[in-house]
Amino acid sequence: MRSNLAHKILGEMNFKTTGSTHPEKFQNKLTDCIDLSDDDLIQEDEIIDVLFELENLCIYCLNYESFIEWKNVS
């Protein structure tokens, strides 16, 4: 489930399934591209939890001046 969700979120943000970026850029794209009014996206509480986790990750990375990196794990 989380793998499919990750692909959907990254796709909405126009990111590839593998990459890295500055956390502020990631957070801005997350805020701009994820429309919480989209019924397909907010069907489950887990999705909201993942979005909060991503936001917290951005804050953590900003505090430690570290890029956010991700890769496709199947």
Q: What is the mean pLDDT of the chain?
A: 82
d(CA 57, CA 50): 10
Note the pLDDT tens digit of each residue in 1-21: 567 788 888 888 889 989 999
Is the confidence at residue 42, as pLDDT, over 70? no
pLDDT band at 40, cuts 50/70/90? low
pLDDT band at 38, cuts 50/70/90? low
Return the residue matching tokens 């956390």. 23
Measured CA distances, 38 to 42, 47, 53, 70 (Å): 7, 12, 19, 25
The per-residue pLDDT for 52 is 85
Q: In angstroms, how far apart are the furthest CA atoms of the chain?
A: 35
Q: 62, exposed or middle or buried, with CB in 10 Å at 0-12, 13-18, 19+?
A: middle
